[in-house]
Structure 1
Amino acid sequence: MSTASEVRGSVREVADLPSPHGVPILGNALQLKPARAHLILEEWAREFGTPYRFQICSTSLTVWDDSELLQSILRERPYGYRRYSTIESTIAEMGSCGLFSAEGEAWAPQRKLVMQAMTASHIKAFYPKMAVITERLRLRWQRAAQNHQVVEMNDDLKRYTVDVTSALAFGEDPNTLEQDGNVIQEHLKLIFPMIMSRINAPFPYWRYVELPRDRRLSRALVEVHKYVRTLMARARERNRDRPHQEPENLLDAMLQIRDAPGSDITDDDVAGNVLTMLLAGEDTTAHSIAWAMLYLGTDDALQRRVADVSLRVLGEGGVCPSYEALKGLDLCEAVCTEASRFRPVVALHAIESLKEAEHHGIRMPAGSKMFFLTRPAMLDSNKFEHPERFNPERWMHDRTPGRGAHETRAYLQFGAGPRVCPGRHLSTVEMRLVISMLSASFFARLAVDPNSIQEVSAFTMVPNTMPMRLEMRPA
């Protein structure tokens, strides 16, 4: 008997793809637990191969692991493809209509605006403040080491990145590292997990009834939006005293455009981008560094190599002495990059097509929803020599056989194409600062069995915990 695809010829339809068994009406919705979404999709990829499809109620979604295809699709954003539309509506509902979720014609002006704060020259000028915040983190960890306290790296690193992002983009340092209790980071950390949960919900139940977690989110959003509007009010007050001065940070630039005669930018647009910056700066970089600490804290030889490099650059200081000296800390960034190869913070790219296309002989109608798994390509022996080995040095030289070869096009943690992450340079500077400071000042040991560290899908892929014991290195 001929199959449907044979009758139609060589081009297959989405319906022809293999799929996990589901249940009537809901499809696979009950199987796809939000906190384990990436792991479940990876497991199905091993079972069915890629591409395959799964069903959420009446919606079919396809899953792919082709990094070259993803590269080409990302280059066609935002006009040929867009992020999964549910992401935009979910984030907009929370009051964060910023660069991350903007699509189509709304994207380009916001991109230009945000990039003003993220240029290498701006970050270089900001470096002394970053060094001060990094020293603040070092002193916090020094107190923990002296008191024999276990440090929850997830929490401390998010405090650090909130302080850096706020100071760079908004001209205010909230100093969450020296506060305990009701700090802005406590509210921010509730948002990404709920975005993930709502994106995967079969229907928007929260519009009709709020569960306890929805009420917690509502309270957190009230506090976060109050914080954002306060930032804006203080920035306007500062700018009134210096009306002809060039903007000193992203918020000043946005408000200058917002308040110009004839502007079609609103306060809500500004607030959405402020919240987007806080969320992006707080979450992705912090967890990239946290995953790196899993490998540093369980490998003494690796930690010694990183410490030797860091001590040469830092000398007697506890923090990298200058922006120019960062170039000697390639190994520190490479540790984070290699950790992200095994533990990708961006484990999934959710894409929606705006036009009909054919990929791998499969017809994808306009509006097709595609999930791209990032980890399989980064563990592929055709792209990485001995992919099972944790070898950060592979990122410190050209892709040469016999030297831990790596395929940079398979590494998509910052995206690609026109919408590549605008904060990638800031992120790598933070990686070099924190890893060098940690390894130069402390011996770090994971405080739990590494097998107990779980991967959690909370929009990005995060460790459920990262407790470390720190000991001071001898002076």
Structure 2
Amino acid sequence: MPAVVERISSRVADAPGAWPLLGHLPQLRRGPLEFMKSLSGCGALLRIRLGPVRAYVVCEPGLVQQMLREPAVFDKGGMLFDKARQIVANGLATSAWTEHQRQRPLVQPAFTRARLDAYAQVMAQEADALTGTWQAERPVDIVEQMVTLFARITARTLFGSGLDRASIATVQRAIPIVAEGVYRQMTAPLRLWEKLPTSANRKYHRAAADLHAVIDQFIDDYEGVKGDRTDGEDTLSALLEAREGEDRLNGAEVHEQIFTFMMAGVETTATAMSWTLHLLARHPEVQERVHCEIAGVLGGQVPTVKDLSRLEYTRGVLTEAMRLYPPVWLLTRSTTADASLGEWRIPAGSAVVFSPYMLHHDARLFPDPERFDPDRWCSPRGDNAGQRGLFQFGGGARKCIGDVFSLTESLIALVAVSTRWRLTPGPGPEPRPVAKAVLTPDRVIVVAHPRPSPGPDGGGSRPTGRRTGPRA
């Protein structure tokens, strides 16, 4: 059987442009997004070489869906998750399938509808508080502001309290460094490289240690006051109280899940919202449609989870932004046994790669793929064939457990921004996508112009925003 597997696997085409010895690592280092897009149309399944390692790249959405439906065979692993486990350990996003099956029921109670309703109130409070500090007609550093917002939301929903200023500063500084370090180590030409005491490696390990220290401090503080707590509506409570028969998460596992949620809840969501606000600032007609829909549906009221389902166009804007700039742009798997994928056979122990960014920019799935077009996702066009090529939250049994949570906090943030402010592009160059573990913009600067605040009947009354204070 192994000989047959190898013979059939040899029919998979090799991606063009490999360098001697290094293979395709130089392309992944210099221009990873362009490299992944260049593979589209070269074949449904390709092989690339990353130094001594060979990997299969899945370029057709049907094959990706097949792979995601077989999580026991195409398990979490490969370059990305092997490196991420060094930091996140055995959290839900990185654990092997067997352990994931045990963990998921224990973690699921943290994401019930009742908890999401309670979380939504926290999200609205934090979004309103942050956008209320922006200065009228002043530039706003959107990336910094979104990291701050989602760090505070994540802290309050995880622990039931806000981060102090020092902890917020730690999270803001450390998470992008960790995300960049994971990708840098993933694409290192030699595995020895990650062990060298370079400045970048030392910075990476310090940032990871700082995040772990913040989590440990929160858990210690929680344990110290849990007898005085009465709400029990935070994620940490749900994780500590979850039971499946006699099974429960131990202290180390709770820490690992919290670290996973902190990375996912801050970096990916802040990135998605930064790109969304960048696109709105540069498409004023789309921005006005969003504002009108929000005003018409909410009438100036604080949104609930039920209200958000009626914001079809606003949801389409967020979906389209995540199509163009999927925060998780590259994912890897490792085969636990000889596997079939379409007409091909893949040997056990193979690295398998797929890129939501590549699929989201495939003109065969999304006509005029570089155009920002939220109507792709709205009726009557919302049932188009591109739906099968959208992977902003993964898919299958290992689809992101926090997908509804993330969409909810993103929509609530959009409501807060759009109700108070009209955005225009700020000074400086266009944002440049930086492909790390997350596809983040290098900068997003906008200018905030106040809108009239809605009156009791949804009409305008007084303008919002302050004109004094330092430049943002």
Instruction: Give the TM-score normalised by the residue count of structure 2.
Output: 0.86
Within 5 Å, give how 1:233-272 maps onto structure 2: 233-241=220-228, 247-256=232-241, 265-272=249-256
Which residue matches 1:123?
Answer: 116
Match of 2:418 among 439, 450, 471: 439
Q: Which moved more, 1:377-386 or 1:365-374?
A: 377-386
**Retained in 2: the 8 A contact 1:54–1:62?**
yes
Alignment of 1:50-129 (within 5 A): 50-77=44-71, 79-129=72-122
1:86 CA displacement: 3.7
Shift of the 152–306 alpha-carbon distance from structure 1 to 2, 3 Å rule, reads: same
Q: 1:135 — aligned with what?
A: 128
CA contact (8 A) 2:67 2:341 kept: no
Q: Counterparts of 2:210 and 2:81 in 1: how far apart (Å)?
A: 22
Match of 2:142 in 1: 153
How far does residue 382 in structure 1 lie from its aligned partner after superposition?
4.8
| Counterpart position of 2:444 | 466
Q: Which runs of 4+ in 1 moved over 6 A?
A: 8-11, 260-264
How far is 1:211 from its partner? 0.9
Cα pair 1:338 1:390 within 8 Å, conserved? yes
Distance 1:186-1:53 versus aligned 2 partners, 3 A rule: same
The alpha carbon displacement at 1:162 in A equals 1.5
SS of 1:20's equivalent in the other structure is: coil
Structure 1 residues 49, 191: closer, same or farther in 2, change over 3 A? same
Corresponding residue for 2:350? Answer: 368
For residues 133 and 208 of structure 1, the distance between their equivalents in structure 2, rounded to whole angstroms, comes to 40
Q: Is the 8 A contact 1:91 1:97 kept in 2?
A: no
Mapped contact 1:163–1:175 kept (Cα < 8 A): no
> Gapped runs of 5+ residues in structure 2?
453-462, 464-472
SS in 2 for 1:182: helix
Q: Secondary structure at the match of 2:169?
A: coil
The answer for the alignment partner of 2:34 in structure 1 is 39
Name the counterpart of 1:295: 279
2-side partners of 1:10 and 1:86: how far apart? 22
User: 2:162: which partner in 1?
Assistant: 173
The amino acid that maps onto 1:254 is: L
Letter in 2 for 1:285: T
Q: Distance in 2 between matches of 1:154 and 1:440?
A: 20
Q: Which position in structure 2 is the counterpart of 1:19?
A: 15
Q: Residue by residue, what CA displacement relative to the aligned partner does 1:218-245 show, whole Å, maximum 9, x if unpaired?
A: 2222221111111111221223456xx7
Deviation at residue 337 of structure 1 after TM alignment: 0.3
- Measured at CA, do residues 128 and 397 of structure 1 come closer, stay the same or move farther in structure 2, by a change above 3 Å? same
Counterparts of 2:412 and 2:248, CA distance in 1 = 39
- Secondary structure of 1:174's counterpart equals coil
Report how far residue 257 of structure 1 moved.
5.8
Identity %: 24
AA at the equivalent of 2:255? A
Code of the residue aligned with 2:279 in structure 1: it is Y
The aligned counterpart of 2:196 is 209
**TM-score normalised per structure 1:** 0.85
The answer to whether the 8 A contact 1:90-1:198 is kept is: yes
Deviations 1:301-323 (A, max 9, x none): 11111111122234345xx3433
Asked if residue 423 in structure 1 is aligned to residue 402 in structure 2, the reply is: yes
Q: Could you tell me which of 231, 246, 267 is aligned with 2:218? A: 231
Distance in structure 2 (CA, Å) of the matches to 1:240 and 1:63? 51
> What value does the CA root-mean-square deviation take over the aligned residues?
3.0
In structure 2, give the amino acid aligned to 1:349.
L
Distance 1:394 1:224 in 2: 39
Judge conservation of contact 2:44–2:58 (CA < 8 Å) in 1: yes
Unaligned runs of 5+ in 1: 1-7
Paired letter, 1:217: Y
Match of 1:5 in 2: none
Corresponding residue SS for 1:459 = coil
Query: Aligned equivalents of 2:168 and 2:232: distance in 1?
Result: 33
